[in-house]
Amino acid sequence: MFEKDDRVVVGVSGGADSVCLLHVLHELRKALRIDLIVCHFDHGLRPGEDGEETRFVQMLAESFSLPFATEKARGELSAEGRSMEETARDLRYAFFTDRMHHFSAQKIAVGHTLDDQAETVIMRLLRGSGTSGLSGIPPVRDGVIVRPLIELGREEIVEYLSRTGMRYVTDSSNLDTTPLRNEIRLNILPLLKKRQPGLVKILGKTAAILKEEREWMETEAREWINLQGQVGLHREITIPLPEFNQLNEAKKKHVIREALRTSGGSLSRISSEHIEAVKRGAQGENPHARIPLPGAQSFRRVYERLVFSSEKEK
């Protein structure tokens, strides 16, 4: 997860999970031989509270003698076809990434826990995700974003903070059940845990099993693309349609996902509906089908060829 002499941007909201993350990394920094930079993103959703959280995190960073950086969201956290939570997350990670480059850091550490993993699995199950979605939150994404607490439950984290005397702040917006994740955390998970007290760990184990299966299928898809596909200018991926049609339905979906990834795009906003749309475009009657995708990615069919590209690579 960390390499010797890594510089690590630590995303700290001021809540229990991120404060625990910062404290643990600070305690282990000499053993791990890493340097830490504390970063806090102010979403500007709760006037008054947001400012208090920023000051709290700044004081926390100063108490550890660590560099501190903060930024406040500008304008409304809304975008067509996207939830406020999704937009806020994108802005937050964009800020962390910007600070990572500014400080010449190699990693971004965030405080997701086993409870977050369980919530994510339930949320994606309710939305109709496949294996990739149900494999949950990865401990490491793209070799950059790391989640050291992903196997620890929230109760363990609160206990640790109590034992070490670390203070944290409570985000009042977490009590709003309008966002699906909050509804799952506050109402659905507690109800299910009455039936199955070990549910959080069970869902975490399920996600880990599906992650192994997803990684195996990704390897199979990658090897197939290396054998049958071609990489063109700006990492554009071209796949022959006749060979694609010979694959079983599951492998077709993984090949599409891997082609999008290999062409330079991110899969973070690619849903199972997008994958199905590409598959229909590939196998439909229109030999010139075009499908725009999130994240400046696109798919087009040119007769017997399937072409995947990303505007980010141009």
Among residues 82, 55, 81, which one has the least CA distance to residue 72? Answer: 55
237 plus 167 within the same structural domain: no
Q: Tell which wins on pLDDT, 171 or 223.
A: 223
How many domains would you assign to the chain? 2
Taking only the tens place, the pLDDT of each residue in 39-55 is 999 987 776 666 889 99
46 plus 128 within the same structural domain: yes
Q: Tell which wins on pLDDT, 122 or 80.
A: 122
Q: Considering the chain, what is the average pLDDT of its residues?
A: 91
Taking only the tens place, the pLDDT of each residue in 198-250 is 999 999 999 999 999 999 999 999 999 999 999 888 889 999 999 999 999 99
Helix (H, G, I), strand (E, B) or coil at 9: strand
258 plus 133 within the same structural domain: no
- Is the pLDDT at 90 greater than 90? The verdict is no
* Domain membership flag for residue 208: no
Q: Sorting pLDDT into bands at 50, 70 and 90, what band is 276? A: very high
**Domain edge (last residue) among 148, 177, 195:** 195
* Domain membership flag for residue 303: yes
| Amino acid letter for position 280 | R
Q: How far apart are the first and last CA of the chain?
A: 31
Q: What is the CATH number of the domain that holds 162?
A: 3.40.50.620
Q: What is the rounded distance in angstroms from the CA atom of residue 213 to the CA atom of residue 173?
A: 36
At how many degrees (to 10) do helices 249-262 and 199-228 cross? 80
**Domain edge (last residue) among 195, 213, 242:** 195
Q: Tell which wins on pLDDT, 155 or 172.
A: 155
Helix (H, G, I), strand (E, B) or coil at 37: strand
Taking only the tens place, the pLDDT of each residue in 130-146 is 888 899 999 999 899 99
Buried b (16+ CB within 10 A) or exposed e, 29-44: beebebebbbbbbbbe
Decide: 17 and 112 in contact? Cβ < 8 Å: yes
Enclosing domain of residue 33: 7-195
* Domain membership flag for residue 235: yes
Cα Rg of the chain (Å, integer):
21
